[in-house]
Structure 1
Amino acid sequence: MGRTILAAVAVLSVTALAGSATAAPGVVHGHFDRPQEDFASAGTRLRDGSPEDVGLDPRPIDAALRQIALWTEKTPDREHPMYAGAVSLLVHDGVVVRREAVGREVRYADASGTELPADQQEPMRTDTIFDVASISKLFTSIAVLQLVDAGEVGLDDPVAEYLPEFGVNGKESITIRQLLTHTSGLQAEAQLWKLPPEQRIPWIMQLTPEHPPGTHYTYSDPNMITLGLLVERVAGAPLDRVVAERITGPLGMTDTGYNPPASELHRIAATEYELDPPRGMVRGQVHDENAWSLGGVAGQAGVFSTADDLAKLGQALLNGGVYGGHRVLSEDAVEQMLTNFNSAFPGNAHGLGFELDQRWYMAGLSAPRTAGHTGFTGTSLVIDPASRSVVVLLTNRVHPSRDWGSNNAARQALAQGLAQALAVDPARGSWSWYADPARPATLTTDALGPVSGEAQVSFNAFVDTQRDSDGVDPLIVESSVDGVSWNPVPLRVSGPGAPDDPQSALAGAGHRNWWKVRGTVEADAGQQVRLRWRYAPDARYVGRGVNVDGILVADRNATLLDGELETERLHPDGWVSTSR
């Protein structure tokens, strides 16, 4: 039968039709995205290549990049372009498979969006330098963990041990770990630029927690401002120097740092036209008002970087803390960045510095150890150890105004494009059934039997669906004796990441393993029975979908269906056969 695959980027109905998986040009037969348990080789260095070089299907990636380019202009659902420009960079197995710049790094003259004359607009470049906003928090976190590696601080030490002025107003017991995981109880925001310069740091030190430490998750800039001060106090040097000497310098991140020199202004993406404070068009200075008020260097913001430099940082962490022969973190420290310490706060998984398993921008790459961070200016970094992949999206979405909206759809689209490009080799034979996540799908058998009492169904399933606060998108197996009324088949599942208890439907994400599934089909002796596999994701679903393989139905006397040999007895609606 036809070997087709529909690779869907499930963001704003972006889809890429991949055609025949045996004959279509550009299709590759990659290795199964079996989750990697260990770090990549310490000697892995980034090199340019193609998706096909590392077993990726290029078409979902290219579909995502086309959509990212479209968002530089107005679309039917948006009053303004999503961003003036963007740089996208994708890494898999140490290979930079795509690097692309679209749009403009400078486009507008004022906060209203008046366009500059064409000869004054400046095109986006793949080496454009961006204000990465809160991605700066990762550099602060790494600097803290370097102090932990060196034995100079302990994660569960009170912050006040190193910053005595911090230990007032209920903050005496707040630990370094709680600042890194945003569970300190401190408030979310500060407006330091509205204070006289001499009062800004004392104001942070005098804060009173809104919640008892360790009892709430609140993503907090004061947490990271405090950690930046702690690094400076313990290291005996300004934060920007610590980052340059201990992180960006060793990793060869030559375009990364705070307060970029004026000589690089032509390469820097403009951000917002600010009226309050009255800064005009911000370019080459940090956008974040708090970091700006602190001289451009702060624990929560201030770093400028390029897509290639951030990819080096991502690969260093995939390598276990080393890149180009230079170790910046121990493997244990990297593991702690990838370990969720916030299990008490569902939906807010957090390692030491990194957000974890956030499907809203990691899309189909989401998994318990998938790490990342976003930045207010329109930036995002996703690091997926399970597939050894890095996704960098840098945009200037606040140019000319933060009020023009979010670029989360673009963050999702790029991560989803890479996720859909990864291979899922069949569990049995040369192909499996794949449910396109862009629309509901059913796979229905012929009438089977007559059966001699209850029958057993078994199959393999690769499941990447949602069952969380954002919705439920399960795979359901149903049986019918009349073809009209359908009843769920109770299922038992085995395999890595599989649920222990009997299931009425299958849902799960991030485990990236084939499950073995068995169920009992109730029917009276002499009846015929039909089975169907039904998958119905909602419009918000962003993931890799479902594959089913090795379908076998039998009663006590005979095999009723061998799905590998009797494909004509399976009737797909929305399911397609795929070799990867």
Structure 2
Amino acid sequence: QAGLEPWIPFYISALEDSSGVFGNVSTEGCDIEVTPNLYLEEAYTDTVWAMILGADLKPAGTYKYSDLGFYLWRKLFALQGIELDTWFEHEVSEPFGWSTMGYKPLSRGIAPKDIAPTENDEVFRQNVVRGTVHDPGAAMQGGVGGHAGLFSNAYDLAELGEVWLRGGTMRQVELVQENVLEAWTNRGFPQGDNRRGLVFDKPALESDSGPTCDLSSWESFGHTGFTGTMLWIDPVYDLVYVFLSNRTFPDASNNKLLQLNTRTEIQRVVLEHLGAVSRFGNRNE
């Protein structure tokens, strides 16, 4: 509701830059790896930030999804002299033993054959995207973004969901304070039509839309990813639901996952087995 643009196609501006900001090999000053055979000039990251800062603001108060705010996470870390991917490895994945979870999996020794391809990108990267982040904006940051870039298998992701389910702590390791997690997962504007929390998505306020089936409780929260992923935590039913797919392969126009409601229909089967009832049948609002 801050009025931020939903997203900015930075890669289009870069492709149209007549000075040529890309190279096929890593050289001094042009060493931001977009894919293993495409590199971006380091100076262009300043252009990206300038585009974010210079973007027109829409009228405040109107609900519109935007990922631009999460671009700032990496910038805030950088101002403290901390690399976001290094911090994540040392403070999150290593303490919990999540060996598959992290940024830039290829550089961490994970084989391409163990990673699902996400798109045959014929516009920007001119290649099959596999093992590098799908999101073009995060790719232009070397694969490390506050809004995109993390990889994981289902098991490690389920354990992360278990941490959220337990209030931010598991195996005597605290990932986040419980009151902070509550701020992340409670609706930020409960009097309006914005269902979302500060960080996580929430169930739809109407029965004919939203990221979950109607059996998910009002207290549940999670995230549905553009490439076809889903992590949803429901404390009422003590449930962590993980769904991983590569919807965007071979191209992002593939909408079968949404048309068939695959993620939410599988979620419904699980919740029915747990005896869940529709949240709209017990609505107190």
TM-score normalised by L of structure 1: 0.41
The answer for the alignment partner of 2:34 in structure 1 is: none
Give, in whole Å, the separation in 2 of the partners of 1:320 and 1:465.
22
Give, in whole Å, the separation in 1 of the partners of 2:59 and 2:201.
21
Shift of 1:351: 1.7
Please say if residues 4 and 57 of structure 2, whose CA atoms lie closer than 8 Å, have aligned partners that are also in contact.
yes
Give, in whole Å, the separation in 1 of the partners of 2:87 and 2:62.
31
Please say if residues 307 and 394 of structure 1, whose CA atoms lie closer than 8 Å, have aligned partners that are also in contact.
yes
Equivalent position SS for 1:273: strand
Query: After superposition, what is the alpha-carbon deviation per residue over 1:520-539, rounded to whole angstroms, capped at 9, x for unaligned?
Result: xxxxxxxxxxxxxxxxxxxx
Please say if residues 228 and 244 of structure 2, whose CA atoms lie closer than 8 Å, have aligned partners that are also in contact.
yes
Q: Which residue type is aligned with residue 266 of structure 1?
A: K
Shift of 1:465: 6.0
The answer for the alignment partner of 2:264 in structure 1 is: 412
**More strand per residue:** 1
Give, in whole Å, the separation in 2 of the partners of 1:248 and 1:217.
33
The answer for the alignment partner of 2:86 in structure 1 is: 241
The answer for the alignment partner of 2:74 in structure 1 is: 228
Give, in whole Å, the separation in 2 of the partners of 1:386 and 1:371.
11
Please say if residues 364 and 415 of structure 1, whose CA atoms lie closer than 8 Å, have aligned partners that are also in contact.
no
Aligned-pair identity in percent equals: 30
Query: After superposition, what is the alpha-carbon deviation per residue over 1:305-326, rounded to whole angstroms, capped at 9, x for unaligned?
Result: 1111111111001111112221
Give, in whole Å, the separation in 2 of the partners of 1:317 and 1:299.
19
Q: Which residue type is aligned with residue 6 of structure 2?
A: A
Q: Which residue type is aligned with residue 200 of structure 1?
A: V
The answer for the alignment partner of 2:63 in structure 1 is: 217
Q: Give 1:263-342 correspondences, 5 Å limit.
A: 263-264=109-110, 265-342=112-189
Change (3 A) 1:222 1:365: same
Change (3 A) 1:465 1:240: closer
Matched, 1:399 2:249: yes
Give, in whole Å, the separation in 2 of the partners of 1:307 and 1:401.
23
1:201 corresponds, among 5, 26, 49, to 49
Q: What do you get for the CA RMSD once the two structures are aligned?
A: 2.1
1:370 corresponds, among 197, 213, 220, to 220
Give, in whole Å, the separation in 2 of the partners of 1:224 and 1:246.
19
Gaps of 5+ in 2: 15-20, 22-43
Shift of 1:509: 4.9
Give, in whole Å, the separation in 1 of the partners of 2:238 and 2:210.
20
The answer for the alignment partner of 1:503 in structure 2 is: none
Q: Give 1:75-474 correspondences, 5 Å limit.
A: 183-193=1-11, 194-195=13-14, 197=44, 198-212=46-60, 215-234=61-80, 236-261=81-106, 263-264=109-110, 265-346=112-193, 348-358=194-204, 360-408=210-258, 409-423=261-275, 464=278, 466=280
Please say if residues 257 and 303 of structure 1, whose CA atoms lie closer than 8 Å, have aligned partners that are also in contact.
yes
Query: After superposition, what is the alpha-carbon deviation per residue over 1:373-427, rounded to whole angstroms, capped at 9, x for unaligned?
Result: 1111110111001111000000011111111214131111121011100137xxx
Query: After superposition, what is the alpha-carbon deviation per residue over 1:202-261, rounded to whole angstroms, capped at 9, x for unaligned?
Result: 22123231123xx12211121111233223324x30111222222222222210111112
Give, in whole Å, the separation in 1 of the partners of 2:156 and 2:85.
16
**More helix per residue:** 2
Give, in whole Å, the separation in 2 of the partners of 1:205 and 1:249.
34
Give, in whole Å, the separation in 2 of the partners of 1:410 and 1:509.
25
Shift of 1:280: 1.3
Please say if residues 105 and 151 of structure 2, whose CA atoms lie closer than 8 Å, have aligned partners that are also in contact.
yes
Please say if residues 384 and 390 of structure 1, whose CA atoms lie closer than 8 Å, have aligned partners that are also in contact.
yes
Give, in whole Å, the separation in 2 of the partners of 1:226 and 1:338.
20
Please say if residues 368 and 510 of structure 1, whose CA atoms lie closer than 8 Å, have aligned partners that are also in contact.
no
Give, in whole Å, the separation in 1 of the partners of 2:284 and 2:242.
20
Q: Which residue type is aligned with residue 278 of structure 2?
A: D
Shift of 1:298: 1.0
Shift of 1:366: 2.2
Q: Which residue type is aligned with residue 238 of structure 1?
A: E
Question: How many residues are matched?
Answer: 247
Give, in whole Å, the separation in 1 of the partners of 2:236 and 2:245.
26
**Higher relative contact order, chain-length normalized (CA < 8 Å, sep 6+):** 1
Please say if residues 250 and 328 of structure 1, whose CA atoms lie closer than 8 Å, have aligned partners that are also in contact.
no
Q: Which residue type is aligned with residue 376 of structure 1?
A: F
Give, in whole Å, the separation in 2 of the partners of 1:227 and 1:398.
26
Equivalent position SS for 2:223: strand
Change (3 A) 1:279 1:324: farther
Please say if residues 227 and 299 of structure 1, whose CA atoms lie closer than 8 Å, have aligned partners that are also in contact.
yes
Give, in whole Å, the separation in 2 of the partners of 1:209 and 1:360.
26
The answer for the alignment partner of 1:100 in structure 2 is: none
Give, in whole Å, the separation in 1 of the partners of 2:147 and 2:244.
18
Equivalent position SS for 2:240: strand
Equivalent position SS for 1:258: coil
Give, in whole Å, the separation in 2 of the partners of 1:509 and 1:192.
42
Shift of 1:200: 1.2
Gaps of 5+ in 1: 1-182, 425-462, 467-506, 512-580
